[in-house]
């Protein structure tokens, strides 16, 4: 592709998505900011919440693949070479990561500020015994 740069990419995406490009970027930005807010608020990542978000993310990855195939009138039987599998994996990963961030942020916001405790070093007791770190189980 001659002269293909970020400007070309933005121009093509604008033609492809129209106003939805900015809606999509806005949603992604909101999700990212919400994710960062929840992580900072909780002073770390809540493992059980992350696990549930990963479960949802698998669905997001699958949805990204299936929606792409539906839009392009194609299916798994059309995968013809290694680059097709790479693209399929990329679609799944992109969908999964996006969903993971959004789901984690949504769960974190739904749980409110009650989930303050997270993975951190436990404070040693006077007798020198350090108990296992306790972590909250999120209500999902």
Binding site for other proteins (CB under 8 A): 1-3, 5-8, 10-16, 18-19, 21-22, 25, 68, 71-75, 77-81, 83-84, 87-88
Distance CA 38, CA 113 (A): 9
Of the pair 65, 105, the CB lying nearest other proteins is at 65
Of the pair 73, 125, the CB lying nearest other proteins is at 73
Which one-letter DSSP state was computed for residue 44? S
Other beta carbons within 10 Å of 101: 19
Q: How far is CA 64 from its chain centroid?
A: 12
Distance CA 94, CA 103 (A): 14
Of the pair 46, 91, the CB lying nearest other proteins is at 91
Of the pair 15, 127, the CB lying nearest other proteins is at 15
Taking the complex as a whole, the smallest distance from the CB of residue 46 to other proteins amounts, in Å, to 30
Taking the complex as a whole, the smallest distance from the CB of residue 27 to other proteins amounts, in Å, to 14
Which residue from 53, 32, 67 is spatially nearest to 96, judged by alpha carbons? Answer: 53
Taking the complex as a whole, the smallest distance from the CB of residue 39 to other proteins amounts, in Å, to 22
């Amino acid at each position: 592709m001659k002269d293909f740069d970020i400007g070309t990419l933005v121009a093509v995406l604008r033609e492809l998505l129209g106003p939805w490009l900015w809606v999509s970027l806005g949603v992604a930005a909101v999700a990212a900011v919400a994710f960062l807010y929840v992580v900072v608020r909780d002073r770390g990542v809540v493992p059980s919440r992350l696990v549930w978000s990963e479960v949802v993310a698998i669905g997001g990855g699958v949805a990204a693949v299936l929606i792409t195939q539906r839009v392009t009138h194609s299916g798994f039987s059309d995968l013809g070479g290694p680059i097709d599998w790479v693209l399929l994996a990329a679609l799944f990963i992109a969908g999964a990561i996006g969903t993971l961030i959004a789901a984690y942020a949504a769960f974190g916001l739904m749980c409110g500020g009650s989930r303050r405790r997270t993975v951190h070093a436990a404070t040693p007791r006077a007798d020198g015994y350090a108990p296992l770190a306790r972590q909250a189980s999120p209500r999902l």
